[in-house]
Structure 1
Amino acid sequence: MADTPQPEADENWWRGAVIYQVYPRSFADSNGDGTGDLAGVRARLPYLAELGVNALWFNPWYPSPMADGGYDVADYRDVEPVFGTLAEAEKLISEALALGIRTIIDIVPNHISAAHPWFREALAAGPGSPARERFWFRPGRGEHGELPPNNWPSQFGGPAWTRTTDPDGTPGDWFLNLFDSEQPDLNWNHPEVRAEHEDILRFWFDRGAGGVRIDSAAMVWKDPLLPDLTDDPAAPHPYIDRDELHDIYRGWRRIADSYPGARILVGEVWLPDAERFARYLRPDEMHTAFNFDFLACPWEPARLRTSIDTTLAAHAPVSAPATWVLCNHDVTRTVTRYGRADTGFDFATKAFGVPTDLELGTRRARAAALLTLALPGTVYLYQGEELGLPEVEDIPTDKLQDPMYLRSLGTNPGRDGCRVPLPWSGDVPPFGFSPAGAAEPWLPQPADWAARTAELQAADPASMLSLYRAAVRLRRELQRSPAGGAELGGGPSDGAGGGLDGEPADGLHGALSDGRLEWLGSAPEVLAFRRGGHFACVVNLGAEPAELPPHTEILLTSGPLAEDGRLPQDTAVWLHV
């Protein structure tokens, strides 16, 4: 393998990167306990290098009671024993970097675990104590304090408040938890809370982390008066998108910038207002933020084009790259969602038993893969998307663990269906996820995943895995400058899978290296755009085959063309034009 970039070698690696999301519990189990671990990831690094990704984003790997899949963090400076050790995390960061792959870790600033020493201290200290000032403890409303302090709802259902019990056994104060009752919210007005998180950033940057993903980034700061939510659209929201947040992230950016190379901040920012969203991406704040408008967008040409245009327009004033993601650990997997009558995503409408055409969803997901990888900016790929894994919707109810399912009393199916352990090889569960003779995986795998294993797909040039390998490799080749300089996104230089033979053709050098996109004239049901001088992506979402624009070469297709050379429905093509 050619020389690989070190952290200080490429300041712009993140602007056009392909970043692979690893959900550690479900990626690869090395020791046979049924749960994925860091040693399992280390063993699969060659697979990730062959896929061609530039970075790995890990969901939390810290010590945790796992009340919310690790997003209830008990200690930010260590690793959950079921995943491994801190020394193993350091090895993983180093070994991945040796393959040109950076590591992004997850930070959860809104809340910690009820098992965290701070919260245990607060409970023991009692009402009015300094230890409780790091959180939001309040007396209840009502004659005997029996009602929550305000009407805020939990993101997982029910009220966002949990009542404590005083040492004498009587009901005590309430504490705020915008998520699960095992996840008390932190009070970011408190200087110790801010100082602690800044030190956590330094701890992981010192160990080579290439960046941090900031969970629930727009929910961290609360109005200290804790007012009720109202229906008044003109009233500022008491805990979403508060202006005070920006000073927090400016402080984080100063820390990131103090390290060599680009150590990036990636925000999970769910906001409908594009202008408000872009404020988080100003040059002294976050580097990028997730694009949830595109993720939730239905498979409809007009809606997709609007989402792309709106996203690029929002990022342009702050010169930040857009991000594109089809799926993550919280949403219905792409091949399932795209195989339904309603192809969008909304937590509020997620339900059991929705009819799905997986063949249709897979065809659309293949086309969507080429669409996203052709767009300017960063692409996030959730583990298993490259295998075309569907949502698992028949997990026995006694196996479900997601608090979204448990707190809704079973009315919401939750998120376990997209978190089922990956199938690597073999004909029967656990499909190489665990070694022979291991305990059952923490979530059961469907028997029909034998046809979707990574081993089987690697040998099939028509598989989803082969498509992703070819597309990521070709994307990287087309990011290189004509002079042969490093491509935008850095990363491995010899990944396998399709693409061009040798150097890109004239006019294709650097075609995907900047943020420009030019729409081409096309029928309303067709998305067609040019990147650089001579690269085009065309996606047909209409019922009838579409004519291709004049071109000199077909670079890659998501499926076969019609016999007359036209582009079939739900198919995408990359062209040299």
Structure 2
Amino acid sequence: MWKRLDSDVNRDSVAAMTSVLPHTEWWRSAVIYQIYPRSFADANCDGMGDLLGIRDRLSELAELGIDAVWLSPFYTSPQKDAGYDVADYCDVDPLFGTLDDFDSMTSRAHELGLRVIVDLVPNHSSSEHPWFQEALAAGPGSPERDRYMFRDGLGENGELPPNNWQSVFGGDAWTRTTNPDGTPGQWYLHLFDSTQPDFNWENRWVRDQFGDVLRFWLDRGVDGFRVDVAHGMIKADGLPDWTAPLAGGSMGGAGTTDAEIAAARAPFWAQDGVHEIYREWREILNSYEGERILAAEAWVDPLTDMAKWVRPDEMHQAFNFPYLETPWAAGPLRSVIDASISAFSAVEAPSTWVLSNHDVVRHASRLALTAENPQGHGIGPRSAGLPIPELGLRRARAASALMLALPGSAYIYQGEELGLPEVIDLPDEARQDPTWFRTNGERYGRDGCRVPIPWEAASPSYGFGPSDAAWLPQPAEWATLARDVQRHDDTSTLSMYRHALALRRAHELASGELEWLESGSETVLAFRSGDVAVYANTGDTAVPLPAGDVLLASGPLTDSELPADTTVWLRA
């Protein structure tokens, strides 16, 4: 079992492990902090975050009270999709440093008692990856082409795409190649940008290469992998046409059954064949000492299907996106919490809880939106239903306090502990997300949640780096939200997170059992875990404050009332 000392920073190193009792593995109760490397900390003054910048700021994350860090991609890449277009899976892009820098960062994390999880992008590579370039050169029918999803086109001269699939980033999911003689050639599949061709995971060679990639990073001491698009990789036989249902929302709409949700699923998501891949990967991880983990980014409904990714011989965790997408309302929250605990417990896995990441509008803004905002669309100056900042922050603090009291593992996205909102007013010319370009500006994309974060109010680039350079412009309000401003303010969002994480650990909430309590109000979610009672008022009016000693409050309390959009922890 992973042990932690009382000191904020001087904790046992990763090597200090004791025997693992059933269901006491570190990842079952861990708080894992997502680092988006290009926006976290810049050590070399080029305006881009890097590995040495991460290394030099890790002590402040240890002080926060987390258990592990997860790094979004830092691999060699042309950066057409911020590193999720990988050109070399076993090296560091010069933007972020070197392999020696990675080793230095990992060593420092382990000294502080923090585990290190790295991103893996197996659904697709960069079109500049040597494997894809070899496939283009080799031509139709070659073993090299079989590494990717090449197909002949439809129509009299193959001028039409092989099917009607659309890219997640907008537009067709197929791009036609050009033969050496200049004539049109085959088409290749890219569920994302055209610079991100999809692998053919039916090919044994592809599977063997990624087994080697896993071993390369495990040998360097990583503690696990977050797997990008973990519900992709395998496509339905025959690549049939598919049109998305008209009903919006990942849950399929009210009254939709689990069977109907599964039947409407796209033929490129959540195919049964992916599970064979993860069983192979689990065997590789199990061959290493320590508890190395796989965490799935799998946008899969219903939750009972998502739980298949974390069966005992597959992955360890799966991000709980239905929870992330649930509105700030007591009834829906109780339903998704019950469904999550039930589904994951059925396969002896912990539920995970997450509110923000690098692909969604930050929850300090999202929870106050008044118009529909599909995942990945982002928000900008011309968006409908823009949030009221004060309301968004109040709800975000309350939602975070609720999440950190739930049993299981929790994920924190860099900057949410500072209450950072989505940056809405980025200049159009500064935007870099391929979604913005592929939709001709119709969708703003994800840049607003990726702006470099603030550390010191009075420093250049708010402490992001030693100069004013930042790859995306930072708003003036970052000065009021910087970490050094919040550190000594007992009412700050940072102080609330630190206090919540310390209480979570002290009261063993992550390994507790949830018992629902009668709240006396339809807008109040109430439960007990161990000796802590949690009340979250999701309504717009105050309610009577239950009796008990206050351990934590997401906002100011009176002696007799629990205000709207406020969560409180009481000694039960």
Partner of 2:166: 153
1:459 deviation in Å?
A: 2.0
Give the conservation status (yes or no) of the 8 Å contact 2:14–2:115: no
Distance 1:2 1:125 in 2: 53
CA contact (8 A) 1:222 1:238 kept: yes
User: Partners in 2 of 1:235 and 1:394 — Cα distance?
Assistant: 36
2:565 paired residue number: 570
**CA pair 235-328 structure 1, distance change in 2 beyond 3 A:** closer
- Residue in structure 2 matched with residue 546 of structure 1 by the alignment: 543
Partners of 1:470 and 1:263 in 2: CA distance: 28
Aligned residues: 540
Q: Which residue identity lines up with residue 562 of structure 2 in the other structure?
A: L
Give 3-state SS (helix, strand or coil) of 1:130's partner.
Answer: coil
2:304 corresponds in structure 1 to 275
Shift of 1:428: 6.7
Amino acid at match of 2:15: Q
- Aligned match for 1:212, one of 212, 225, 228: 225
C-alpha contact (below 8 Å) 1:428/1:450 kept by paired residues: no
Matches within 5 A, 1:334-483: 334-342=363-371, 346-347=375-376, 352-353=382-383, 354-427=385-458, 430-436=461-467, 440-479=469-508
Q: What is the letter of the counterpart of residue 528 of structure 2?
A: R
Quick check: 1:516 aligned with 2:521?
no
Q: Does 1:129 align with 2:142?
A: yes
Deviations 1:120-146 (A, max 9, x none): 111111222211010111111111211
Gap runs ≥5 in structure 1: 480-511
Are the equivalent residues in 2 in contact too, given 1:107–1:214 (CA < 8 A)?
Answer: yes
CA distance in 1, matches of 2:506, 2:284: 33
- Measured in 1, the distance between the counterparts of 2:216 and 2:14 equals 22
| Structure 1 residue matching 2:570: 3-state secondary structure | strand
Q: TM-score, normalised by structure 1?
A: 0.91
Alignment of 1:166-245 (within 5 A): 166-229=179-242, 234=263, 237-245=266-274
The alignment partner of 1:217 has SS state of coil
In 2, Cα distance between equivalents of 1:235 and 1:274: 15
The SS at the match of 2:462 is coil
CA distance in 2, matches of 1:201, 1:38: 20
CA distances 1:58-104 after superposition (whole Å, capped 9, x unpaired)? 00010000111100001111101110101111121111011110000
The Cα shift of 1:223 comes to 2.5
CA distance in 1, matches of 2:19, 2:390: 41
Q: Equivalent residue for 1:490? A: none
User: Are the structure 2 counterparts of residues 519 and 360 from structure 1 closer, same or farther at C-alpha, using a change threshold of 3 Å?
Assistant: same
Q: Of 61, 64, 79, which residue of structure 1 is paired with 2:77?
A: 64
1:326 and 2:355 equivalent? Answer: yes
Deviation (angstroms), 1:350: 5.6
CA separation of 1:291 and 1:153: change in aligned 2, threshold 3 A: same
Normalising to structure 2: TM-score of the pair? 0.91
2:116–2:224 contact (8 Å) kept in structure 1? yes
- The DSSP-based 3-state class of the residue aligned with 1:89 is helix
Residue 556 (structure 1) aligns with: 552
Q: Which residue of 2 aligns with 1:92?
A: 105
Deviates more, 1:21-30 or 1:564-573: 564-573
Distance in 1 between the 2:555 and 2:264 partners? 50
* Aligned-pair Cα RMSD in Å: 1.8
Distance 1:445 1:513 in 2: 35
Q: Which residue of 2 aligns with 1:21?
A: 34
Counting aligned pairs with the same residue, the percent is 54
Moved over 6 A (4+): none
After superposition, the Cα gap between the structure-2 partners of 1:162 and 1:343, relative to the gap in structure 1 and judged at 3 Å, is: closer
In structure 2, distance between residues paired with 1:81 and 1:27: 16
- Does the CA contact (< 8 Å) of 1:105 and 1:213 recur in 2? yes
SS of corresponding position for 1:76: strand
Change in CA separation of 1:513 and 1:180 when aligned onto 2, cut-off 3 Å: closer
Q: Residue 113 and residue 69 in structure 1: after superposition, are their counterparts in 2 closer, same or farther (change >3 A)?
A: same
CA distance in 2, matches of 1:357, 1:327: 18
Residue 248 to residue 272, structure 1, CA distance change in 2 (3 Å)? same
